Every structure is written in structure tokens, then in C-alpha cells.
Structure 1
Amino acid sequence: MSLDPSLSLRSATVSRLRAAGCVFAEDEAELLFSAARSSAELDTMLTRRADGLPLEHVVGWAEFSGLRIAVDPGVFVPRRRTEFLVSQAVGLAGPGAVCVDLCCGSGAAGAVLLSAVQGAEVHASDIEPAAVRCARRNVEPRGGRVHEGDLFAPLPDSLHGRVEVLVANVPYVPSEEVALLPPEAREHEPLVALDGGADGLAVLRRVAAEAAHWLAPGGHLLVETSERQADRAVAVVADRGLTPRVVCSEELYATVVVATRD
């Protein structure tokens, strides 16, 4: 049962969050009230939040595309803009589609595909053990499978040439810009989920190098990138024989490259 706060507790909580620099203090307070079962638990959560822990790590979940996704400490928090990437993937996945969620983190994309695509066969992978444990909580109860390892390496060989939708939410922050990220990200999320190498495209190059071997004819690779990197990301996948296009959402400030195997 969640905490039913008094007016004074509500006001004190909002004030404490504001003092900690939380811009959306009122909204965060409501989430904390819904998650805390006692005043003592609320106080612990407030302390952790004031210490800079991401709100999603404090409450243990994130809302993503209408689902409540479990998010453990040390696991990459799914961003709202990534809902656009996943919506594009859902739109391309027919009933029974074979789908892969690379660099899956919490498994948010895989969970949505399983929930939104009738009969989908979904495999997810991540190199971080903490992410794999978390993703298994989100993906496997919905009927998917989660594998631990580097990109494609842990996937079953039976998926070669069969993947219709390949979602790869690769890290794309250039190494020298990681230090500019908000403390919530750079201090509490794994570096491997943030650092995209010198130009932010290092992991994308590795994915693109193998994607055609895994994709079915007409299958699609979808990756999130930044607006300023989009042209270079297009060139990376085109060099690997895929046919790319760029789709954007102004509302979510999201840029996605969709690359198709002919």
C-alpha cells in the first residue's frame, strides 16, 4: 500500500526535492508517495534522490510506452525519447515477427515489442550482467529470452537470416562529451551504455558490420542517434549494404535511422 501523505508532509517533500535541484519536484513527489509504504521509507527514498540517484533507481521502475519497466541500480534508465525508436519498431513488426533488442539495458524495447506485437519472438542481449538480470525481469515473463554477452555474440545461431526487426539502442555519446552528461547518468549508469567512442559511432559500426547476416530479406535495423550524427550514421549503415532512411520526432527530440536489408 502506498503512502497517503498529509498536506504538511507533501509540502515538506516538495521543498526537499526542490532544494536538491529537482526541477519537477511536484511530479517526483507524487511518484515517491506512490512507491513509499511508510514515512521512514519515504525519507530513505528522499535521501537517495537528494544524493543524485536517478528517480527511476529510487522507485525501482520507469514508465515506458505505457508499461512499468523495472529498473535496478546501475542499469541504464530508458529515456522517453527512445519511445519513438520503439514505436517505429512496433510499426514494422508484423504478427509473429522475429525481433532482437541489442544493448537492451532494462529490456524496455523488448518488453514493448512482446506486449504490442502479436506472437512476436523476441531476443534481447546486453554485455552488462546487472542489465541482463534486470531485463530478464521485464522480458522473460512476457515470453522473450535475454542473453548475456557482447552484441550478437550470445544470440542463438538459429536467428541468422531470420530477424525481421533489429532494435539497437547503441550508446552514441562521443567519449569526450560523457563528462558533460547530467550527474544522474554519468555517475549512476554504466559507462558502456553511454560512451559511443571518439565520434559516438563506434558501437553502431560494429552492429552495422554484422546486421545483414542476421536480418531476414526485407528486415530492418533501427538505431537511435542524435540529429547532428544522423548523416554519418546513415553512411555507416549504407556502407554495409543496408538501405537507410531517417525519421524524427520533434516532440520527443528523437532521431532514428531505419536501415533495411534488400
Structure 2
Amino acid sequence: MSVPSREAVAARLRAAGCVFAEEEADLILATAGTAAEAADLVERRAGGLPLEQVVGWAEFHGRRVVVEPGVFVPRRRTEFLVDQALAAAPHARVVVDLCCGSGAVGAALAAALAPLELHAADVDPAAVRCARRNLAEWGAQVHRGDLFAALPQRLRGRIDLLAANVPYVPTGEIALLPPEARDHEPRTALDGGGDGLDVLRRVAAGAPRWLAPGGRLLVETGERQAPHAVEAFTRSGLTARVHADEESAAWVVTGTRDRADTET
């Protein structure tokens, strides 16, 4: 059995609806070690599996991040969250990647901020396993559980930088997502409740007890949801600000805990 040609692979992918068939064909052929593996990868992609899960990695903030089957694929627009986090807290030493998925955000932050104490958490066991692979080089502790309940109590009042790529798709809009996301990524990483802000509100409400004085919380959200996210941050006592990058369709809300606030 011979390895299929780039033209044959691209044609199969194009017929399956892949817009960037040629580029995807190159990645699949570069990944496959044998003709049989190449054929299997092509059919998995043609069947709707996200390309990143097919080849086993995603490009994110200049790094290759391992992406295992069933794990949320890091979006390129989330690089804006990383950029805003680094600008807001360039000297952070205690960092948490909440709703971490593959750990892509934590890995990007660690690459820029190390040495640091890095923690990550997710409710999905597949995500936790994947994040441990991606964050191992920084000695990160990756915890499984529901938001702050997953974190060790010794972090209360000590977190300099808390990045949370929360799910923010409204429940009623899940069906409108591309099948790669809708059918192959965990619903817990996508579904943000009725207006998409259920998890964000919980993170905003709990963050002040975990942030160090002057600590920053950064959350990605949608354009129409950003004003309501600011309200949630403000109600929890954080000083909120919206950052937007229209080119990548990315919106990030930053919340800062007052340095004079000594509650833990």
C-alpha cells in the first residue's frame, strides 16, 4: 500500500467540506508514519474530527500543544487572552489556568513568566490528562474539579494571575456551532448556560477570595456579552476593563483586586 498523494488527500478532504484541504493534507501526510496511518487519518478528518485531534497537536502562541481526542481544541483568538494577561501581570509568580482544557493558556503563560508556581484545573478528566502532558516541563500541578473547588486551599489570597477560558456559548446556540466543535469537543467546554455567562459569573464571584491583593482575573467572552461580564466583575468587587481585538474577534475582560483589600 503506497502513501496517498497530496492531491488525492486534498481531493478527499475537499469533498468532505474542508476549506483548507491542501494545507490540511500537508499536515496529515507529515504526521503519518505509514500509508495505512495516512489513510486512517484522512478518513478521521473527512469524518468530521477536528484537524488538531487528528494530527495530535495545535499551534498556539508560538508553541505546539498536544491535543488528545475529546479535548477542547485551543482557539487562535485565545492568544489574545494570553497577550492581555502578560501585559496585565508581567511579574506574576503564582498563576492559575482555570477551565484549562489542554493547558494551552497555562503553557503559553509559563513560557513567558517562568520561573513560577503554576496550577491548572478542569472538570473533564480527559482535559486534565492532556494538560498534565503539556504543563509537565514547568512542574505544574493540574487538578480535576469544578472551578475553585479543584484548587488547593493554600492558594487562597495568593494568586497573582488567574486566566479562565470559560465556556461562553449560550445553550441555545450550541447547535449552530461547526460539527468539529459540536460533535467532538466536550459540551462542558462550550456550554455557558442560557446567556453564555453562567460559568463566568461563578468565576467572577469566587475570584476575589483567591486573588492576591492587586491580582488579576482575565476571562474570554463574546462581544455582546462583554458589558454583562463587566457587571459581574464589578458586583464581585473587581475593577473591570474590556479589551477587544476585532481582527481576531476576541474580547477579554480583566478584573483587578484592590491592593487595599486584605480579605482572604
**Shared fold by TM > 0.5?**
yes
How far apart in 1 are the matches of 2:118 and 2:88? 14
Q: Distance in 2 between matches of 1:154 and 1:225?
A: 22
- Unpaired runs of at least 5, structure 1: none
The more displaced of 88-97 and 99-108 is: 88-97
Q: In the alignment, which of 241, 247, 258 is matched to residue 243 of structure 2?
A: 247
Query: Is 2:65 the partner of 1:56?
Result: no
- Match runs of 1:71-110 below 5 Å: 71-95=67-91, 97-110=93-106
Give the alignment partner of residue 236 of structure 1, picking from 225, 232, 236. 232
- CA deviations over 1:160-203 (Å, ceiling 9, x no partner): 11111100100000000011101110100000100000110000
Identity of aligned residues (%): 63
What's 2:9 paired with? 13
Contact 2:73/2:102 (8 A) holds in 1: yes
Tell me the secondary structure at the aligned position of residue 225 of structure 2: helix
The secondary structure found in structure 2 opposite 1:81 is helix
Indicate yes or no: 2:139 matched with 1:143: yes
**Residue 20 of structure 2, aligned match among 20, 24, 30:** 24
Post-superposition Cα deviations, 1:211-247, rounded to whole Å, max 9, x if no partner, equal 0000011111000001111101110111100010001
Contact 2:92–2:160 at 8 Å: present in 1 too? no
* 2:262 aligned residue: none
Cα offsets for 1:87-110 (capped at 9, x unmatched): 111223334511100000000011
Give the structure 1 partner of residue 163 of structure 2: 167
Q: Is the 8 A contact 1:32 1:59 kept in 2?
A: yes
- Which residue number corresponds to residue 209 of structure 1? 205
Aligned length: 257
SS in 2 for 1:104: coil
1:160 partner amino acid:
R
Instruction: Give the secondary-structure state (helix, strand or coil) at the position aligned to 1:152.
Output: helix
- Pair 1:124 & 2:117 matched: no
State whether residues 102 and 169 of structure 1, in contact with CA within 8 Å, keep that contact through their aligned partners in structure 2. yes
Q: Deviations over 1:142-163 (max 9, x none)?
A: 2211001110112111111111
Q: 1:115: which partner in 2?
A: 111
Match of 1:34 in 2: 30
2:177 counterpart residue number: 181
Q: Aligned equivalents of 1:150 and 1:28: distance in 2?
A: 35
Change (3 A) 1:200 1:64: same
Give the C-alpha shift of residue 29 in structure 1.
1.1
Corresponding residue for residue 256 of structure 1: 252
8 Å Cα contact 1:248/1:254 also seen in 2? yes
Dislocated runs of 4+, deviation >4 Å: none
Mapped partners of 1:144, 1:91: distance in 2: 22
CA contact (8 A) 1:179 1:186 kept: yes
CA–CA distance in structure 2, aligned partners of residues 23 and 164 of structure 1: 41
CA RMSD in angstroms comes to 1.3
The answer to whether the Cα contact below 8 Å between 1:114 and 1:143 also exists between their aligned partners in 2 is no
Q: Secondary structure at the match of 2:76?
A: coil
Task: For 1:50, give the aligned amino acid.
Answer: A
SS at match of 1:115: helix
Q: Distance in 2 between matches of 1:122 and 1:258?
A: 19
Does the 8 A contact of 1:93 with 1:117 survive in 2?
no
**Are 1:158 and 2:133 matched, yes or no?**
no
